[in-house]
Chain A
């Protein structure tokens, strides 16, 4: 096997293994968390999200308590933390019981800000449910597989040409 063909084969193997892992991981993934927010206080959670169909489910206990929340992407989070004007990805004010945030985010870090304006402490149960494949990794794996195949084909064509010549 020529070195060019071998390089192509190895690139394809990297892509194929990545695709295999993505298929294995494409089932539902649930990340659970719980946070307690004191009266007239807030919590700020940093979460890393990947480009999959994502549902963030928040359940407040006691269910009668009112909360406000914002989900911020990296750029708006930096603006928020610097005290500049910002636009949240999602915002809910005065919600009680539970809330669902649905999005297909880009890969990166996000900020979840939750504020409890009431006089009682509350508990928030967070569930992040992700389904489907990571689209960026899927694109990368398919690119690697096709690049590997192209390198192998070019090498084989060159060999055939030089054989005829």
Chain B
């Protein structure tokens, strides 16, 4: 079996019935609920008039930041989705599926990469597609090219949040190696971190997603410099956890 085949198999297995349906239902409920609330006040001008070119730009700016806040605000939904996927990895240990995968003429790095691509990349793409498609549906067209840099920045923040959540859930699956324990522990860990940031405010809220990333979106909206610590901290956490998981998976893991 080649890497491409493994990836395809992993995708089909991970999003088998009813996992994809469950993911879609959780995700779309949040997407539609938040996005359809976009209405009313966009911008006010006192004693002056906008130019006719400015009007659609103002609408799209408003829509893009509404979408950006919604994307980084989908923390709980992402936590549930990634905890479910991580618990499926834990299921691979108990079901013997991982033993079978490791018996193929593929390196452990390739098996790990296939899992990361399936769980993290495919799911994040699904989340982004749902939001961006709804945004373009509401805007009645495609995002104007001059606003693409802001949109890309907001997509980047969502990817950082998804990586942070996934890396914690993945670590839990490698620690517990049990389906239910992974789901419960990673969900509790992620919700606990969010709750700690809400309770103790500074400095946790400026370092831990989603509050740190929500703040970054607000700063982008105002055109102020983004607080870097709020972006770098989740990147370091997810990078360190993914590297640790990779090293453990490729060198130490015994199945």
Chain A residues proximal to chain B, CB less than 8 Å: 1, 6, 9-10, 13-14, 17-18, 20-22, 24-25, 29, 31, 33, 35-38, 41-50, 74, 77-78, 81-82, 107-109, 111, 128, 130, 134, 137, 140
Evaluate contact between B36 and A48: CB separation under 8 angstroms. Answer: no
Chain B residues proximal to chain A, CB less than 8 Å: 17, 20-21, 24-25, 28-29, 32-33, 36-52, 55-56, 58-59, 62, 137-138, 140
Chain B residues, Cβ within 8 Å of A21: 29, 32-33, 36
Interface of B is mostly: mixed
Chain B residues, Cβ within 8 Å of A42: 47
Quick one: closest A residue to B138, CB to CB? A107
Chain B residues, Cβ within 8 Å of A49: 39-40
Evaluate contact between A10 and B20: CB separation under 8 angstroms. Answer: yes
Chain B residues, Cβ within 8 Å of A46: 41-45, 50, 55, 58-59
Contact pick for B43, options A14, A18, A45, A130, CB 8 Å:
A45
Could you pull out 17 A-B pairs where Cβ atoms are within 8 angstroms?
Answer: A1-B17, A10-B20, A10-B21, A17-B29, A17-B32, A21-B36, A29-B37, A31-B39, A33-B44, A36-B46, A37-B46, A47-B40, A47-B42, A48-B38, A81-B55, A107-B138, A107-B140
Evaluate contact between A31 and B55: CB separation under 8 angstroms. Answer: no
Tell me, rounded to whole Å, the shortest Cβ–Cβ distance linking A16 to chain B. Answer: 8
Chain A residues, Cβ within 8 Å of B47: 38, 41-43
- A13, B19: Cα distance in complex, Å: 13
- A35, B41: Cα distance in complex, Å: 12
Evaluate contact between A10 and B52: CB separation under 8 angstroms. Answer: no
Tell me, rounded to whole Å, the shortest Cβ–Cβ distance linking A149 to chain B. Answer: 15
- A111, B44: Cα distance in complex, Å: 10
Evaluate contact between A44 and B29: CB separation under 8 angstroms. Answer: no
Chain B residues, Cβ within 8 Å of A44: 44-45, 48-50
Query: Top 8 closest A-B pairs, CB basis?
Result: A31-B40, A21-B32, A46-B42, A81-B52, A17-B28, A44-B45, A78-B52, A46-B43
Tell me, rounded to whole Å, the shortest Cβ–Cβ distance linking A135 to chain B. Answer: 12
Evaluate contact between A20 and B58: CB separation under 8 angstroms. Answer: no
Chain A residues, Cβ within 8 Å of B25: 13, 17
Contact pick for B51, options A17, A24, A81, A140, CB 8 Å:
A81
Interface of A is mostly: mixed
Tell me, rounded to whole Å, the shortest Cβ–Cβ distance linking A69 to chain B. Answer: 14
- A33, B39: Cα distance in complex, Å: 13
Known: A20-B29, A22-B36, A42-B47. A13 touches B42 (CB 8 A): no
Tell me, rounded to whole Å, the shortest Cβ–Cβ distance linking A138 to chain B. Answer: 11
Evaluate contact between B24 and A13: CB separation under 8 angstroms. Answer: yes
Chain A residues, Cβ within 8 Å of B44: 33, 35, 43-46
- A111, B39: Cα distance in complex, Å: 13
Quick one: closest A residue to B37, CB to CB? A25
- A44, B45: Cα distance in complex, Å: 5
18 new A-B contacts, CB < 8 A, other than A38-B46, A48-B62, A128-B39, are A10-B24, A17-B24, A17-B25, A17-B28, A21-B36, A25-B37, A29-B39, A33-B44, A35-B44, A37-B46, A44-B44, A44-B49, A46-B55, A47-B40, A49-B40, A50-B36, A108-B140, A109-B56
Chain A residues, Cβ within 8 Å of B33: 21, 24-25
Evaluate contact between A9 and B62: CB separation under 8 angstroms. Answer: no
Chain A residues, Cβ within 8 Å of B58: 46
- A18, B137: Cα distance in complex, Å: 13
Quick one: closest B residue to A5, CB to CB? B17
Evaluate contact between B55 and A50: CB separation under 8 angstroms. Answer: no
Chain B residues, Cβ within 8 Å of A31: 39-41
Chain B residues, Cβ within 8 Å of A77: 52, 55
